[in-house]
Amino acid sequence: MALLIENLNKKYDDILLYRDFNISFTEGIITCILGPSGCGKTTLLNIIGGIILPDSGNFSGFQEKTMSYIFQDPRLLKWKTVRGNIEFVMDRGMTDEERHKESDRLIKLVELKGFAGYYPSQLSGGMRQRVSIARAFACHSNIILMDEPLKGLDIALKQNMIRSFARIWKTDRRTVIFVTHDVDEAIMLGAEIMVMSRPPVSIVEHENIIELPEIRLPESDQFKNLKQKLIKALG
State pLDDT tens for residues 86-136. Answer: 999 998 889 999 999 999 999 999 989 999 999 999 999 889 999 999 999
Which H or E run includes 168? helix 155-169
Residue 222, pLDDT > 70, answer yes
Domains, the chain, with CATH or none: 2-234 (3.40.50.300)
Strand pairing report for 2-12 and 15-26 = antiparallel
What is the C-alpha radius of gyration for the chain, rounded to an integer number of angstroms?
18
* Listed residue (20, 10, 9, 29) closest to 208, CA to CA: 29
pTM assigned to the model: 0.91
- pLDDT for the residue numbered 32: 96
